[in-house]
Chains A and B, each alone.
Chain A
């Protein structure tokens, strides 16, 4: 059974205006998104800024109000605010994008990591310290770090403190919102390797949100591409990278810089070709408002937003 099952999720933000500040319209940040994630897998959510990928993640943790739709976590409905019980919040944790601003600069590492423990578990001072030591060891940080402040660490180390905090309560699902976007490649490698290690160790499930297709290809089992709040394509890693069907997906893949300089001209030509195709066939793939159509199944795992046939 899927650990997380999202169906018809909508998050709409009102636009206020006029003299009485009435609602004059809605921004459909997330519009009818459905997916499910199996236990122990990594599900990638890709899109450009403003596509609604972060809002989707935040809605699942409960940081955004949901307009419509249903979220099932381990079979339990957690859609409404009231139903997000303390226990459920313990099982879903989040890793934030920016390791420089997501840690309180005035707290010591010990207090940062112990905060979730203090909220949920009644531990003695010593037990708590012991747990923090264990967590630090798990994320590969020095035991002395416990007394340091966030500014005394490098970006990669800070991100690992964020990870330690996220796994403190042994969650089942981690929502990682652009966890490596702010990091150098070498540090990025460190964090990605580490996320894979703890996934195996703790049987974690990830919802991995990123705009970097290279990283997503490396990390994810299943991938969904979002555009303006809607899914344009969803499938396994192979479906998306080897057999992309939607022109928007093709365009994203074509835009990834090629690490081999010999392919430069070919890549440039390919990109121009995809761009032309994108411009010429835009109407075939998007409706009158420029939004993606509903998803159609093209294989057991692969779904693409195409106009209905016939």
Chain B
């Protein structure tokens, strides 16, 4: 059996602003295998959440082009009723904000129950109750019988996030999309949640897409990493390659702006992520933020190049990139 679970081909998601459509996700192709965590990193505005919402088909009025194949079913073309059957069952998502993702007027147990009622209509009431208790236990909530009848406001942020995870995994999804699952949490709880997601991957043989801006989390969790900038994937590689031999200027800039030991001065990426309407649609999209690099080294129409097996980088500018504060001698690092 093929290990490929999700195959995205040339996905473009555009939003209408005024009379025109602007692509927030621009020609993205990637695969997620079973028992694999694919990390997606990038700044806010880089299109990573737009990509997740496209896979879940949660955008209301977006134009979606390309293919999103989950075990042969093309999600991009699926009807709403088909999607309703898939979402929460084979395909599910952990949302970023535990404070707003739960219904404040419903008991915790009932909220987890909802997804079971919808997708497992044959289960008896008692079976469902047992399953909810089992799920609460699985996500590490102590006293599940008690929490079952509590309301969201009675729980802490970490507990709520676990409830959201319990809902997401209730039907043992094949593909789990986690959009910044730990951003709102304290470090010790973050560590527990990440351990939990890792266990789920192994236990259910699931594919996981982990979206985050925290490079430390990616380093700890991901098997492969895709770096997104301005709606495009600019680099994709297995986690060791990406952290040890990052090539794209954006990846290297990001890694350099994280505080690490013995670093006096953090690297600052010049400029800001351009808004959707102001994205450069031709040439290297990152060029404007590395103005000290000669313009002639960028491709006119940058493509993803496979530099070593499985390691793809967009645009040729990476071979010429250097940090202005370090000087040019570093160039050799990027030559492959």
Q: Please give the residue numbers on chain A whose beta carbons come within 8 Å of chain B beta carbons, in ascending order.
A: 48-50, 154-157, 184-190, 192-193, 211-215, 217-218, 251-252, 254-262, 264, 267-268, 271
In-complex Cβ contact of A257 among B220, B240, B257 (8 A): B220
Q: For A186, what are the chain B residues with a Cβ–Cβ distance below 8 Å?
A: 43, 253-254, 257, 268-269
User: What residues of chain A lie closer than 8 Å to B186, measured between beta carbons?
Assistant: 48-49, 211
Extra contacts, 14 of them, besides A186-B254, A252-B187 (Cβ < 8 A), are A48-B188, A48-B189, A49-B157, A185-B43, A187-B43, A211-B187, A214-B260, A217-B261, A218-B266, A254-B191, A258-B219, A259-B215, A261-B240, A264-B219
Q: Which chain A positions have C-beta within 8 A of B215?
A: 185, 259
Give Cα A264–Cα B219 distance, bound, in whole angstroms. 8
Counting CB contacts under 8 A, is B115 at the interface? no
**Residues A260 and B219 in contact, CB atoms below 8 Å apart:** yes
How far, in angstroms, from A193 to B267 measured CA to CA in the complex? 9
Q: Which residues of B contact A154 (CB under 8 A)?
A: 272-273
> Given B189, B214, B217, B268, which contacts A189 in the complex, CB threshold below 8 Å?
B268
Pairwise interchain contact A259-B258, C-beta atoms closer than 8 A: yes
Interface of A is mostly: helix
Query: Which of B43, B217, B243 is A184 in contact with, Cβ under 8 Å?
Result: B43
Residue of A nearest to B41 (CB): A185
Query: How many Å from the CB of B311 to the closest CB on chain A?
Result: 14
Tell me whether A261 and B243 are in contact (CB under 8 A): yes
- Least Cβ–Cβ distance between A305 and chain B, in angstroms: 18
Query: Residues of B at under 8 Å CB distance from A?
Result: 43-44, 156-157, 186-191, 194-195, 213-217, 219-220, 222, 239-240, 243, 253-255, 257-261, 263, 265-269, 272-273
- In the complex, what residues of A have CB within 8 A of residue B253's CB? 186
**A267 near B259: Cβ-Cβ < 8 Å:** no
Between A and B, how many residue pairs show CB distances below 8 Å?
102
Determine the distance from Cα of A215 to Cα of B219 in the docked complex, in whole angstroms.
Answer: 17
Minimal Cβ-Cβ distance residue in A for B220: A257
Closest residue of A by beta carbon distance from B217: A257
14 A-B pairs with CB atoms under 8 Å apart are A49-B186, A186-B257, A217-B259, A218-B263, A251-B188, A252-B187, A255-B188, A257-B214, A258-B216, A259-B215, A259-B243, A261-B220, A264-B219, A267-B220
A209 to chain B, nearest CB (A): 14
Give complex CA distance A221, B334 in Å. 36
Docked CA distance A142–B185 (Å): 35
Q: When chains A and B are docked, how far (Å) is the Cα of A40 from the Cα of B43?
A: 33
Asked whether A192 lies within 8 Å of B239 as measured between CB atoms, the reply is no
Whether the Cβ atoms of A192 and B43 lie closer than 8 Å is no
Q: Which residues of B contact A189 (CB under 8 A)?
A: 257-259, 266-269
CB-based contact B216/A257 at 8 Å? yes
In the complex, which residues of chain A have a beta carbon less than 8 angstroms from the beta carbon of B194?
257
* Top 7 A-B pairs, shortest CB-CB distance: A257-B216, A218-B259, A189-B266, A189-B257, A48-B186, A255-B187, A255-B191
* Cβ–Cβ contact A184 & B44, under 8 A: yes
Which of B222, B263, B272 is packed against the most chain A CB atoms within 10 Å? B272
| In the complex with contacts A252-B188, A259-B258, A193-B266 CB distance below 8 A | yes
Q: Which residues of chain A are within 8 angstroms of B195 by Cβ–Cβ distance?
A: 268
Bound Cα distance A264, B243 (Å): 12
Contact A256 B187 (CB under 8 A): yes
Kindly name the residue among A185, A218, A267 whose own CB sees the greatest number of chain B CB atoms within 10 A: A185
In the assembled complex, the Cα of A211 lies from the Cα of B267 at a distance in Å of: 22
**In the bound complex, how far is the Cα of B186 from the Cα of A211, in angstroms?**
7
Report Cα–Cα, A213/B261, bound state, in Å: 12
Q: Could you tell me the distance between the alpha carbons of A186 and B220 in the complex, rounded to whole angstroms?
A: 20
Q: How far is the CA of A267 from the CA of B195 in the complex (A)?
A: 12
Do residues A258 and B43 form an inter-chain contact, with CB atoms below 8 A?
no
A69 CA to B65 CA, complexed, in Å = 64
Interchain CB contact (< 8 A) of A258 among B220, B222, B257: B220
A68 to B239, CA, bound (A): 52
